[in-house]
Amino acid sequence: MIEIIPAIDIIEGKAVRLSQGNYEQKKVYNEDPLEVAKMFESHGINRLHMVDLDGAKANRIINYRVLERIASRTSLIIDFGGGLKSDSDLDIAFDNGAAMVTGGSIAVKNPEIFQRWIDKFGAKYIILGADCKDKKIAVSGWTETTDEEVIPFIEKWRRQGILKVICTDISRDGMLTGPSIELYKEIKETDPETCLIASGGISSVKDIECLEEAHIPGVIVGKAIYEGKIRLKDLARFVENSD
């Protein structure tokens, strides 16, 4: 059964969503992200993907107090990302309640540091963020696209011990146009043991069902919930069967 992981993106302490990673296309959904997190929890959700968008721009953790509020006032298992660039950033994230952290840009720009995190904290606590556009890895809050191909990038870090990968197709993120199912199938065919979490474009329960049929282990859902395209009660069967 596919795991449902709602997303909360944070700017200036508020729950927001962007379109294709564009900070100029920001929409605030709630002034208090804790209210959103509690709503997820009340519907049986036990995972949360939280992104510090201010941190992604600043290259250091910013919204750790929001993380602490959600972690201390809910039982959600939180994976946290956005701007994590140093050991001290990870210490702050873990000290404030993150169960796991996601690193993307750091794995491209400073692979030695990312490898040290895997070795120091353990692979089950470090998630690889493989954000891509046209199958090329993007970094720095999606403001830069590299020449590195997404599948070899994932394969390389799998060999280095990574267990979980969040792959976001930037061109679809926040656009409600459906996920990149063929890309995720290709990744799984390359390495069936990858714990792959799909992200970007989810617009309906049908999209989730298609990912489940493709044997994708997890999916991050954001804008579709906030815009009412997917009702939390419609996710009940996924949540109940994943326990």
Catalytic residues: 9, 131
Tokens (6 digits) for 105: 């840009």
Q: Where do the H-state alpha helices sit in 81-219?
A: 87-95, 105-109, 111-121, 150-159, 181-190, 205-213
- Please give the Cα distance from 200 to 98 (Å, whole number): 22
Q: Which residues of 82-101 are buried (b: 16+ CB within 10 A; e: fewer)?
A: bbbbbeebbebbbebbbbbb
CA distances from 8 to 28, 75, 103 (A): 11, 15, 16
Instruction: Tell me the C-alpha to C-alpha distance, in Å, between residue 101 and each of 5, 106, 227.
Output: 14, 12, 27
Tell me the Cα Rg of the chain. 16
